[in-house]
Structure formats: C-alpha cells, structure tokens
Amino acid sequence: MKRLHLSIALACSVTWIMPLSLYAQDNDAQNISHAITTLAASCAACHGPQGNSLGGTPTLAALNKDYFIQRMQGFKNGSISSTVMHHHAKGLKDEEITALANYFALQQRHTPTVAPHQSFQGAQ
C-alpha cells in the first residue's frame, strides 16, 4: 500500500502514461472486459492460444464476428447439430456469445507454436 501511495504521488508529477496490463491496452479500447478475456482464455484448451488452433478444431482467431455468432446461436438453439459445442453454447448468455465473437475477431491469426516435446528423463 505504501508503494502504491508513493507511486501515485510520483505519478502526479509526471505526464508520461503507459498501459499497465493487456486489458488496459487494446481490449479496453474495444470495450472488451476482463470477464470476456478470461472466459475466452478458457476456450484455449480446445481451440488453442488466443483461438489459434493447432488443428483438429476450428481456429477462432480473426474469425468473422457474424459467423461466430451464427454458429454459436445455432448450437445454442439446436438448429445446428454439434458433437461438443452445444454443451458450451447452451451455457453461455447471448451477450457473452456476442462479446466472445468480438474478442476472437480481434485476435491475430498465426500458426501456433507446438509444445516442446522432450524424451522422458526418468526423474519423476
């Protein structure tokens, strides 16, 4: 707390301003909240870091926003059949689906790095 006070006091005397976290950088500018950043991050297990899949599941990064919403709403209302995604889509609110669409549309598409395999060393 002491450090915070010190920092604010120091900062009051300067005018240089930089963002302190990712939320404060691009996402706030696009109105993407922490809540959506963390929710979107939980999609990574199947769809890869920032929606860049290593294959076998769709890449969500830079996906067209309207297409994302159309698919997710279809999974949610049952008009599009799915194997797994209806179990997620039905659990999400409409506004969360829209916000996730915005989030993923803003992510840069790239080839994700494969996790670095290493032969088993026998220590554990």
Site residues (vs other proteins, CB under 8 A):
3-4, 6-26, 28-29, 31, 33-35, 37-39, 41-49, 53-57, 76, 83-84, 86-92, 96, 112-124
Shortest Å distance, C-beta 88 to other proteins:
6
Q: How many CB atoms lie within 10 A of CB 33?
A: 13
CA separation for the pair 37, 23 (Å, rounded): 8
Q: How far is the CB of 70 from other proteins (least distance, A)?
A: 18
Closer of 89 and 105 to other proteins (Cβ)? 89
Residue whose token pair is 């209302």 = 77
Q: How far is CA 55 from CA 28, 94, 120, in A?
A: 30, 27, 25
Q: How many CB atoms lie within 10 A of CB 32?
A: 19
* Shortest spacing between CB 67 and other proteins, in angstroms: 20
